[in-house]
Amino acid sequence: MSHTLLLAHGSRDPQWCQPFVDLVAHLQREDVSLAFMELASPSLSEAVERLVALNIRHLRILPLFFAAGRHLREDVPLEIQRLQIQYPHISLELLAPVGQHPVMQNALAQVIASA
């Protein structure tokens, strides 16, 4: 069973987090959920633990970031490595951040053109 875990940065401000929660609710898909890197819940490890308990065996982690900075180059891979050791029976796949996807770049170009 496969699942996509959207990974946002996180904030102590619930208003900052709400658009990500709303996005997942809008998608209305059981195979998509949300985690935060820091400062908000659920964390990546909490989300993975919950999904493993639901018998999910393949997780695609999709960062909701524009680019791969230090968090995506260092922190997230280290956390995934730690989780992979903790749960050797599951597959964790880190995808490129959404900002690098051509569809997102085209959508941003349209928003900028209409501004």
Catalytic residues: 9
Interior/surface letters 14-40, b for 16+ CB within 10 angstroms, e for the rest: eeebeebeeeeeeeeeeeebbbbbeeb
Torsion of CA 109, 31, 94, 110, to 10 degrees: 0
- Any idea which residue has 């209305």 for tokens? 28
* Close Cβ partners of 64 (under 8 Å, ≥ 6 residues apart): 6, 7, 8, 9, 20, 97, 98
